[in-house]
């Protein structure tokens, strides 16, 4: 952990001096002056450790919220804007177009909860035999929006996962100096929680409230 990000040498000195002065002032009242010295130092370092721990937790939560918000704004919201009551979908590999009613379109976001499941989801969704590249055409201005989907009967099943999570292990190692699976998992959990909160906050949008988040 890069503790210097949360407590500089100057901060340490400023925090330490009042405690030293207080301890020194009370020493004449004790028969064994070393006792309040030990207690004071222990309390001081305990408070410093708590301060660092709390700020580290805030940083972890902030990173997860930033990644989830970015995914929501850059992918889910634009996709929802391109889906109307009846939507044209172009299949790039087959060079054809189909139209789907809004209630015939299913959207699933697969939310990995660890790095192994992230790799597995990526392999499944990038399999050309299962899912293919599509363009969702905006009915108002004809703007295409890329996604991955497959057709089953008269239903279009769009599937996606947050690709930004691939950078998570490296970021944690660079930023916090550690790559423990348990620590990284906390970021996945924070991401999932923030994404679900964003979808809940935007339930007034018919398309967004139909999105399913499936944790894997």
- pLDDT tens, position by position, 172-210: 665 655 556 666 778 888 889 999 999 999 999 999 999
Q: Find tokens 């929501």 and name the residue.
A: 72
pLDDT in the model for residue 174: 59
pLDDT in the model for residue 178: 58
Relative to beta strand 155-160, strand 212-215 is unpaired
Cβ neighbours, 10 Å, residue 81: 16
pLDDT one-digit tens code per residue, 121-143: 888 888 767 889 999 999 888 89
Q: Examine the pLDDT at 120 and tell me if it is beyond 80.
A: yes
Q: Examine the pLDDT at 80 and tell me if it is beyond 80.
A: yes
Alpha carbon distance 184, 94 (integer Å): 40
Instruction: List the single range of 17-31, 61-75, 138-152 with lowest mean pLDDT.
Output: 17-31
Alpha carbon distance 114, 84 (integer Å): 34
Quickly state the pLDDT bin for 51 (edges 50, 70, 90). Answer: low
Alpha carbon distance 131, 149 (integer Å): 5
- What's the first-to-final CA gap in the chain, in angstroms? 28
Alpha carbon distance 179, 171 (integer Å): 9
Written as six digits, the tokens of 92 are 């790039």
As to burial, measured by CB atoms within 10 angstroms (0-12 exposed, 13-18 middle, 19+ buried), residue 16 is: middle
Quickly state the pLDDT bin for 15 (edges 50, 70, 90). Answer: low
Quickly state the pLDDT bin for 14 (edges 50, 70, 90). Answer: low
Q: Find tokens 């423990």 and name the residue.
A: 180
Average pLDDT over residues 162-171: 79
Helical (H) or strand (E) element with 98: strand 96-101
Burial per residue of 148-161, b for 16 or more beta-carbon CB atoms within 10 angstroms, e otherwise = bbbeeeeebbbbbb
Written as six digits, the tokens of 153 are 């009967």
Quickly state the pLDDT bin for 88 (edges 50, 70, 90). Answer: very high
Alpha carbon distance 15, 18 (integer Å): 7
pLDDT in the model for residue 1: 47
Q: Examine the pLDDT at 27 and tell me if it is beyond 60.
A: no
pLDDT in the model for residue 206: 93
Quickly state the pLDDT bin for 115 (edges 50, 70, 90). Answer: confident
As to burial, measured by CB atoms within 10 angstroms (0-12 exposed, 13-18 middle, 19+ buried), residue 50 is: exposed
Q: Examine the pLDDT at 99 and tell me if it is beyond 50.
A: yes
pLDDT one-digit tens code per residue, 199-209: 999 999 999 99
């Amino acid at each position: 952990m890069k503790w210097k990000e949360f407590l500089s040498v100057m901060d340490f000195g400023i925090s330490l001096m009042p405690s030293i002065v207080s301890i020194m002032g009370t020493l004449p009242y004790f028969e064994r002056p070393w006792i309040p010295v030990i207690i004071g130092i222990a309390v001081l370092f305990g408070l410093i450790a708590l301060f660092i721990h709390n700020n580290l937790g805030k940083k972890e939560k902030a990173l997860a919220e930033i990644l989830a918000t970015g995914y929501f704004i850059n992918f889910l919201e634009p996709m929802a804007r391109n889906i109307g009551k009846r939507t044209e979908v172009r299949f790039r590999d087959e060079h054809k177009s189909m139209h789907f009613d809004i209630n015939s379109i299913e959207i699933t976001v697969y939310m990995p909860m660890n790095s192994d499941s992230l790799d597995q989801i990526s392999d499944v969704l990038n399999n050309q035999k299962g899912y293919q590249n599509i363009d969702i055409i905006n009915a108002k201005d004809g703007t295409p929006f890329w996604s991955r989907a497959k057709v089953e009967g008269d239903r279009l099943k769009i599937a996606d996962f947050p690709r930004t999570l691939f950078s998570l292990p490296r970021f944690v190692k660079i930023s916090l100096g550690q790559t423990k699976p348990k620590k990284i998992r906390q970021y996945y959990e924070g991401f999932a929680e923030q994404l679900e909160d964003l979808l809940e906050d935007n339930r007034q949008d018919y398309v967004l409230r139909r999105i399913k988040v499936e944790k894997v």
